[in-house]
Amino acid sequence: MTTVTTVTSERNAAIVQLMAVPDENVDLDWLRQALQNALFLELATIPPYACGLWSIMSPEADSAVHRTIREIIFDEMSHLGLVGNMLSAIGGAPVLSDPARLPHYPGPLPGGVRPEVEVRLTGLTRSALDMYSEIEKPDQPLARGEDHTSIGAFYRRIRKAFEDLAPPLDTRRQIEQAMPRHGPGNDIVAMRDHGTVLTSIDVITEQGEGTHTSPSSPQWTPEGDLSHYYAFRELYHGRRLVNVDGRWVFAGDPVSLPRAHAVGEVPAGGWAADPVNNPTGRPVAMALDAFNAAYSSMLLSLEQAWRTEDGGRRAQHVRDAIRSMGEMRSWGRLVMQVPLPDGSGWHYCPEFRPPLPGLPGPRTA
């Protein structure tokens, strides 16, 4: 019988603590904790990007920008699946329903990575794009000269741990999901061997940051597609990234931001914490609660998929998660069309506050 290890919040060290552990002290427990942290880290990036995407008024008219952000979100969802499979493969049980550790907005990235970055939920603006690119920022951006600790640095440490420990891999509780519409490198594959693990980590880091010599990740994406960081910076600067005399600069053709709903920033504690815009008793409360319920359902479905060895049940859980994602998109876009009652001209934004134990429940009663 397979022994499954659940990494609880009480015993799980933050990423900054894990990064400080000397190589000689890295063991299987360290790797499980690191991967659980990575799972929450991937999850934390999806809500802000999704809010930006859903705020675009006309996805058809602004299809290029819409496609760019949409593909980045699908990349992040694929990364979430790959990391969950890595954790499952080494006897861990991925956790996505711990209220104490779920990302909260506004707030920092999980685990103490990039503590100077505050992640917010709002519509698509230049300020939001600056935040997105700060999340994805490499150690040494080709178009900027700053050094810092990045998400990629954390993944490179995980990669080294897999190389050094070479743990046995169990495929019985892993998710497999083809994503052919979203380009090479996006399929969620089972970790059957260490080569697949290492390749998957390379996919995650290069899709996010690019490489130290190129702003794109040509091994994983169609030629010319940029990694997340540089794609967001193009939108922020309003110019294509081009190589001029050996230097990468944002000086190419203009890139126009699409028209987007004026979506307000979700306050700490959600809209119920705003005495003027509290949705309780208003029609928008139903849409906000329905969105949060769909988000909760998605998280629980994915968690359950990684907890069963029954392939049929696991596939159903994945289908349930995909259905919940569609519901989130529909409710999210509806929420963004509702003006705040304060008369500011701003609109509501989805909260991503799942009604799990310890979190607020429905406000429609």
Same domain, 219 and 323: no
Q: Is residue 359 part of a domain?
A: yes
Q: Is residue 113 part of a domain?
A: yes
Same domain, 119 and 42: yes
- Interval 2-14 mean pLDDT: 51
- Range(s) of the domain holding residue 299: 271-365
CATH number of the domain where residue 195 is located? 1.20.1260.10
Given a contact cutoff of 8 angstroms between Cβ atoms, the answer to whether 204 and 196 are in contact is no
For 239, phi then psi, to 5°, come to -145, 145
**pLDDT value of residue 206:** 81
Confidence band, pLDDT 50/70/90 cuts, at residue 14: confident
Same domain, 292 and 153: no
Of 195, 227, 260, the last residue of a domain is 260
Q: Is residue 10 part of a domain?
A: no
Q: Is residue 6 part of a domain?
A: no
Same domain, 119 and 236: yes
Instruction: At 199, list the tokens.
Output: 């390749």
Of 213, 229, 260, the last residue of a domain is 260
Give the Cα separation of 128 and 55 in Å (integer).
12
Res 270 pLDDT > 80: yes
Same domain, 256 and 211: yes
Q: Is residue 322 part of a domain?
A: yes
Same domain, 174 and 276: no
Res 183 pLDDT > 90: no
Same domain, 241 and 283: no
Average pLDDT, the chain: 87
Number of domains observed in the structure of the chain: 2
Q: Is residue 89 part of a domain?
A: yes
**pLDDT value of residue 186:** 78
Task: Give 317-342 pLDDT, tens digit per residue.
Answer: 999 999 999 999 999 999 999 999 99
pTM of the model: 0.89
Residues 6+ apart with CB under 8 A from 18: 30, 33, 34, 37, 111, 154, 157
Same domain, 312 and 200: no
Res 210 pLDDT > 60: no
Residues 6+ apart with CB under 8 A from 256: 65, 238
Q: Is residue 204 part of a domain?
A: yes
- Interval 193-210 mean pLDDT: 86
Same domain, 291 and 239: no
Same domain, 254 and 286: no
Confidence band, pLDDT 50/70/90 cuts, at residue 213: very low
Same domain, 26 and 102: yes
Q: Is residue 8 part of a domain?
A: no
Same domain, 254 and 309: no
Residue in 203, 166, 156, 133 with CA at minimum distance from that of residue 15: 156
Res 306 pLDDT > 90: yes
**pLDDT value of residue 32:** 97
Of 225, 241, 260, the last residue of a domain is 260
